[in-house]
């Protein structure tokens, strides 16, 4: 395995872990709000990638009824995971092809 491929695999692995953590963090915050009926699942899904007024309101309505008592979510983590995944794909496709 060349160093480019190793780097691409490492970046993709880190991006995958970051993506899973981001989704879990989002669900900890917005899962309770959706379950309480304050916003719909579709409205909460927009909060994965954006920080809108509705998302801030939903975060304010989040209760501390879950284990970690996390009451806010940062969509920048999802964007960082997506950017790392794109970089990993570019890095893996950037190697020269030998005949």
For residues 54-82, give the mean pLDDT: 83
* pLDDT for position 67: 65
* pLDDT for position 23: 94
* pLDDT for position 64: 63
What pTM was estimated for this model as a whole?
A: 0.79
pLDDT digits (tens, 9 = 90+) for 1-57: 567 788 889 999 999 999 999 999 898 888 888 888 889 999 999 999 999 999 998
Q: Where are the domains of the chain?
A: 3-93
Structural contact between residues 61 and 38, judged by C-beta atoms closer than 8 angstroms: yes
DSSP string across 22-83: HHHHHHHHHHHHHHHTSS-HHHHHHTTT---HHHHHHHHH--S-STT------THHHHHHHH
């Amino acid at each position: 395995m060349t160093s480019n491929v190793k780097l691409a695999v490492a970046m993709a692995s880190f991006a995958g872990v970051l993506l899973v953590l981001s989704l879990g963090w989002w669900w900890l915050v917005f899962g309770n709000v959706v379950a309480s009926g304050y916003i719909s699942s579709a409205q909460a899904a927009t909060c994965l990638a954006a920080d809108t007024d509705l998302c801030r309101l939903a975060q304010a309505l989040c209760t501390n009824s879950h284990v970690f008592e996390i009451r806010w979510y940062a969509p920048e983590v999802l964007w960082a995971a997506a950017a790392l995944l794109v970089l990993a794909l570019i890095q893996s496709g950037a190697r020269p092809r030998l005949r």
